[in-house]
Amino acid sequence: MGDLVDLVRAGGVVVLSGAGISTDSGIPDYRGPDGTRRVEPMTFDTFVGSSEARRRYWARSYIGWQRFTSARPNSNHRRVAALERACYVDAVITQNVDGLHQAAGSEEVLELHGSLERALCLTCGEVASRVALHDRMTEANPGFMERFAAAAHAVGSQWGEQVRPDGDIVLADELVASFHAPRCLACGGDTVKPDVVFFGESVPKPLVDDCFRLVESARSLLVLGSSLAVMSGYRFVRRARQVGVPVAIVTQSATRGDADATVRIHATLAPTLDALGAALQR
């Protein structure tokens, strides 16, 4: 713990956060405590491949969105925001799409995988707010939530375990078939997509370059709650090591970047960040 305190006390920290930082807010990770993937997300190729796939995504996301709108920042988000206010943390690169870092008060946040607050049309580029889109889906699907509740005996046991970090959720096929997916108000197409990076989709290069610049100019990179299993996050650990920036990783399970870490703490985030905050105040 002392090595972590020393790194953070020096300031200039860039935080790289993953889904594990939001689990205490009721948004489960894709992977369990052992790092094994619990659920399979919809891929970009599947989403763009058919109208039926998009109907399936939006029907499930319509239900899962209820979970997201009720989520609130937890102590991990608040502690990171406090470290920024105290000038220890310069910026946060987050792999999450839940907006909880900003809700907790963090100001310098780069959303590597986008945000569920927005949706965009892949055909014409029209952007819509997710709240407005949800209202439109509610209007187009009267009684859908009630039908979901009536079928809760079939899917209820999966609600808590299989909601995804992107708001998707397991849903019975017959419910999916009855759902009317959203259409773009500008062009009428059914290619409306949440403004997030799906598995199999690339992060925009300008955003990646901005993140690389942050990492290269940092005094240290602090990884919180990410397994680093996908290259979109792991590449920043690799770049930090290449340019001599120390890397600290705090997770319970093993990560892809463990061999690159200068400081490695296998522990739950909340008590670790609480202890870090207390040590910095001494």
Going from the C-alpha of 5 to that of each of 2, 134, 188, 271, the distances in angstroms are: 5, 43, 54, 14
Angle at 62 between CA 56 and CA 64, to 5 degrees: 100
Give the three-class secondary structure for 98.
coil
- Alpha helical stretches, state H, the chain: 2-9, 44-49, 51-70, 75-85, 100-104, 130-140, 144-150, 152-162, 173-177, 205-217, 231-242, 269-280
Contact 167, 61 (CB under 8 A): yes
Q: Are 124 and 47 in contact (CB under 8 A)?
A: no
Length of the chain in terms of residues written:
282
Query: Is 216:244 a contact under the CB 8 Å cutoff?
Result: no
Under 8 Å between Cβ of 44 and 53? no
Whole-number Cα distances in Å, 276 to 6, 7, 76, 251: 10, 11, 11, 14
For residue 247, give Cα distances in angstroms to 110, 205, 229, 251: 19, 23, 16, 13
The catalytic site residues sit at: 113
